[in-house]
Amino acid sequence: MKQLNPFTGASLDRSLMTQTASNQALLKKLSEAVEKGDEDVATLAAKEALSKGVDAADAIENGLTRGITAVGDRWARGDAFITEVMLSASALKAGLQVLEPALKSRGGVRRTLGQVLLGTVQGDIHDIGKAIVGAMLTAAGFEIRDLGVDIPPEKFVEEVRKAKPDIIGLSSLITASMPGQKKVIEALQQAGLRDRVKIIIGGAPVTEAYAKEIGADAYGEDAFDAVKKTKTLVG
């Protein structure tokens, strides 16, 4: 598979060619901090990068992102623990907290594959499956906003109106809470917002057929599949 930078869609190597040696060392440090899942080092390296004049967009795209992509790839090959991806996602977040304000102050915007709003639907308090999907989507280059568990339909509607996500991911681990996924879709239709977002659903009892039946755009069989399908929704 051809590896593109999920933030820019550009080939990763071309952009590196213009950088100086010291910048490259800093970018490598950022990348490694994220890959090792070290929040503290990611924060420090991000601050150092800014103080030495590294472009914030460059630091994000060729530093932090490289690290998270590397971990995500290892996980997809079966070589990394989910925990490593989660720790890397936390380190990514820590680095972004330093770099994003600098990016915005110069009028820049962080480019991602899209913003995904995640939540476990009302009547279900299972957190972990959704948390895994969130980490994997982060590793794949999406921006994640996780609402938590037992989320009522109206909350999703409110968030779509306010935060304008590209995609909603609805989780349900028990058969009894599956209708909750349908209710979210119905609520969005009633609010006239259904066309503004793509919807992907998942969870142990959920099936492809059920996704079609309730009018979702995609079904993720597991975290790996969820990443693949979410990419097709924005692709």
Partner 1 sequence: MSFPREELDKIDSASLEVLKDVGVKFPDREALDALRGAGANVDYGNMIAKFPESMVRETLKRVPKKVTLCGRDSRHDVHLGMNEGTRFLPSGLGAHIYDLDTGQRRLANRDDLPKISKIVDALPNIHVLQVMVGPGDVPDRVADHYKFEAAFNNTTKHVCNCIGAVTSDDGAKDIVEIASCVVGSKEELKKKPIFSVHQCPISPLQYDVHGLRAIMEYAKNNVPVSIYSMAMAGGTSPVTIAGTLVIINCEYLAGLVLLETLNPGCPVLYGSVASIMDLKTGVMPLGAPERPIIQIGVVNLARYYGIPHGVISAGHTDAKMPGTQAGFEKAITALPVVLAGTELVMGAGAVDSANTYSYEQLVIDDEIWGALLRIARGFDVDEENLAVELIKKVGVGKHFLGEKHTLIHARKHWYPRLYTRFKGSEDVWNEEILGKKDLAAKARQKAKEILASHEIEPLEKDVQQKIRKLVIEAERHAKT
Please report, as ranges, the residues that interact with partner 1 according to CB under 8 A: 37, 77-78, 81-84, 86-87, 89-90, 125, 127-128, 131-132, 135, 149, 221-222, 224-225, 228
Q: Which residues contact 192 (CB under 8 A, 6 or more apart)?
A: none
* Cα distance between residue 197 and residue 6, in whole Å: 20
Tell me how far, at minimum, the Cβ of 108 lies from partner 1, in Å. Answer: 29
Cβ distance to partner 1 smaller for residue 184 or 223: 223
* Cα distance between residue 210 and residue 125, in whole Å: 21
CA atoms within 13 A on the CB side of 48: 17
Cβ distance to partner 1 smaller for residue 147 or 191: 147
C-alpha distances out from residue 178 to 88, 169, 212, 213, 218, Å: 31, 13, 13, 12, 15
Neighbours of 136 (CB within 10 A): 25
Cβ distance to partner 1 smaller for residue 164 or 212: 212
Tell me how far, at minimum, the Cβ of 34 lies from partner 1, in Å. Answer: 14
- Beta strands 218-220 and 115-120 are unpaired
Cβ distance to partner 1 smaller for residue 139 or 185: 139
Give the strand order in the sheet containing 218-220.
143-146, 115-120, 167-171, 198-202, 218-220
Tell me how far, at minimum, the Cβ of 84 lies from partner 1, in Å. Answer: 6
Tell me how far, at minimum, the Cβ of 132 lies from partner 1, in Å. Answer: 7
Tell me how far, at minimum, the Cβ of 13 lies from partner 1, in Å. Answer: 24
* Cα distance between residue 144 and residue 95, in whole Å: 15
Cβ distance to partner 1 smaller for residue 127 or 143: 127
